[in-house]
Amino acid sequence: MLKDHGKNHKEITLTNGNLHVFANDEVFEQLGDQVYVMADNNLQIPRNQYMSYTPDAHVGIGTCIGTTAVWNMRDGFVSPSIVGSDIGCGMRVHLTPLTKGDIQDKKLRRKMVDSIEKYVPTAERGHSHYKNIRVEKVVTEGIHGLPHKYVPDHYTPRDRRSVTHVETAKFEYNHDYLDGIDDKMWARAWQQVGTLGGGNHFVEIQSIEIREEKRNIAEQWGLFDGQVIVMVHSGSRAWGGMLAPKFIKDFRKAMELWGVQTPDRNLVFAPINSEEGQRYISLMYSALNYAVVNRHMLAYGVREGLKEVFGSEFEMPVLYDLMHNYALKEFHRKQPMLVHRKGATRALPAGHFLNAKAYKATGHPALIPGSMGTSSYIMVGEEPGEKNFYSICHGAGRIRSRRATKELVSVDQFKSSIKVGTDDEVIVNHRTLESILDECPQAYKDVDQIIDSVVGAGLASVVAECKPLAVLKGV
């Protein structure tokens, strides 16, 4: 049964509970039956308080990407399947003093990409340049665990954007659970601090266009028309990547002992207050610490690369850093709840108590990537977003698998979408596009329709549209 609440908000009654979907009619019709099967499976987890899909929802492992699922902290459940494998994956944006006109020359943009790549390892198993960073400090203290030399504003304690302009600079948890991590995992994590990773991760140089109705907020954030910004998308790399399968396996064993089954073997869960639940939450938070540091160090590498091009005085302060794969304790409806977001971005409105201090008055920037051939967006949450626990999309969302993309999209179509051969060509770090064909714009939904769905639902508004100029992708 479907109930249409209007304003791109539909509620579907499934066998095991209700699912809220925030999508315009065009996007809603494209969702497909399997996303509802997965939702119904997820709703079998007892005492669910709320579950929804953002418009970029698509099938994942155990749970759809684009899911928000909520349980009460008192008697609820935590699910590694709903958090996902790339724990702490998220977005980061840095501001520059450059304008689009300053880097109109394609040769200059190519020089920028080549220089950045000296400092930002883009291979899937690329090794960190930062061997003096201690991983145990990173996973316990987040950005606070970095040596001062890697925190550009450490000498200005009253205005340390590196720790004040992020969703969370340090996640607190029980460090005793780290004792079970084997040496191999510590070693791989140490090798990958400040590395990009593969898949949909990227560093992108963009220019922005301010939306007139949000110009006041944009100016308060330090944005201006034509400004060049740097957008970073990455997560917890090997640290989170090795935790996820370990806990899927551990939770599955525990569920077998409890006599609990699900239709999908990849869907696992445990009570928040169980030993399994507490261990997972603690180590998940360690991965969130790693992820925010990894993005910070990626941006540090970009800054060092651009200094080679634009001079030693070049600076690029952070606008904001936030995640879209995690389960976080938050207060909603006057009670503590565990909010799972898998491929969903938190977008808090002005005045909300969970905002970082720097963004109390305006709401924080919500960073939504498109693809290397389409716009990305900087948004801000609106008060009606409370109905969806202040969750919005995390990107465009895939419309076809990597394999299907390679079968259906030609390299020539890919070239056309990133304007190869024109003055507006999106410069890519790869010399052959075949190697990243599965990440071409044609692999993703129409990001403008996704943004229209979110805006139409009243969940958030667009502050700036970001056009791609150059991109570094991992392999």
Percent of the chain with pLDDT over 70: 98
Identify whether the C-beta of residue 190 lies closer than 8 Å to the C-beta of residue 135: yes
Mean pLDDT of 3-17: 97
User: In this model, does residue 155 exceed pLDDT 70?
Assistant: no
- Which segments of 375-459 are extended strands (E)? 376-381, 391-393, 427-428
Q: Residue 153 annotated as binding?
A: no
Q: Please name the residue that has the structure tokens 């990409």.
A: 113
Residue 204: the pLDDT is 97
Tens-place pLDDT, residues 101-134: 999 999 999 999 999 999 999 876 678 899 999 9
Buried b / exposed e across 97-128, counting CB within 10 Å, b at 16+? ebebeebeebeebebbbebbbebbbbeeebeb
Given the structure tokens 């930062």, which residue do they identify? 130
Question: Nearest to residue 467, comparing CAs of 425, 436, 415?
Answer: 425
Is 376 annotated in some ligand binding site?
yes
Residue with tokens 């550009």: 152
pLDDT, position 407 = 86
Which residue bears the tokens 């905002």?
355
170: helix, strand or coil: coil
Query: How far is residue 47's CA from residue 76's CA, in Å, rounded to a whole number?
Result: 6
Q: Is the pLDDT of residue 430 over 80?
A: no
- Give the three-class secondary structure for 311: coil
User: What local confidence, expressed as pLDDT, does residue 400 receive?
Assistant: 84
Instruction: Report the pLDDT value the prediction gives residue 409, as an integer from 0 to 100.
Output: 85
Query: Is 200 labelled a binding residue?
Result: yes
Encode 198-213: b = buried (16+ Cβ within 10 Å), e = exposed: ebbbbbbbbbbbbbee
d(CA 277, CA 251): 9
User: What pLDDT sits at residue 146?
Assistant: 96
Task: Render pLDDT for 262-319 as a digit per residue (tens, 0 to 9).
Answer: 999 999 999 999 999 999 999 999 999 999 999 999 999 999 999 999 999 999 999 9
**Helix residue ranges per DSSP H, 314-410:** 402-408
Q: How confident is the model at residue 431 (pLDDT cuts 50, 70, 90)?
A: low
Q: Read off the pLDDT of each residue in 438-461 and give the average, rounded to a whole number.
A: 94
Which residues are tagged catalytic? 394
- Spatial contact of 17 and 51, defined as CB atoms under 8 Å apart: yes
Q: Is 233 among the annotated ligand-binding positions?
A: yes
Which pLDDT band, with edges at 50, 70 and 90, does 464 fall under? very high
- Label residue 320 by pLDDT band (50, 70, 90): very high
Is 266 annotated in a binding site? The answer is no
Residue 203 labeled ligand binder:
yes
Counting residues of the chain whose pLDDT is more than 90, the rounded percentage is: 83
Strand partners, 366: 379
Residues 6+ apart with CB under 8 A from 105: none
Computed over every residue of the chain, the mean pLDDT equals 94
CA gap 442, 400 in Å, rounded: 8
Is the separation of the CB atoms in 205 and 109 below 8 Å? Answer: yes
Judge whether residue 162 has pLDDT over 80: yes
Which tops the pLDDT comparison, 67 or 372?
67
In angstroms, rounded to a whole number, what is the distance separating the alpha carbons of residues 461 and 408? 34
- Rounded Cα gap, residues 241 and 201, in angstroms: 14
Mean pLDDT to the nearest integer, 387-395:
97
d(CA 242, CA 80): 12
pLDDT at 7 over 70: yes
Domains of the chain: 2-399+444-473 (3.90.1860.10)
Q: pLDDT by residue (tens digit) across 184-235?
A: 999 999 999 999 988 889 999 999 999 999 999 999 999 999 999 999 999 9
State pLDDT tens for residues 55-71: 999 999 999 999 999 99
CA distance 94 to 92: 7
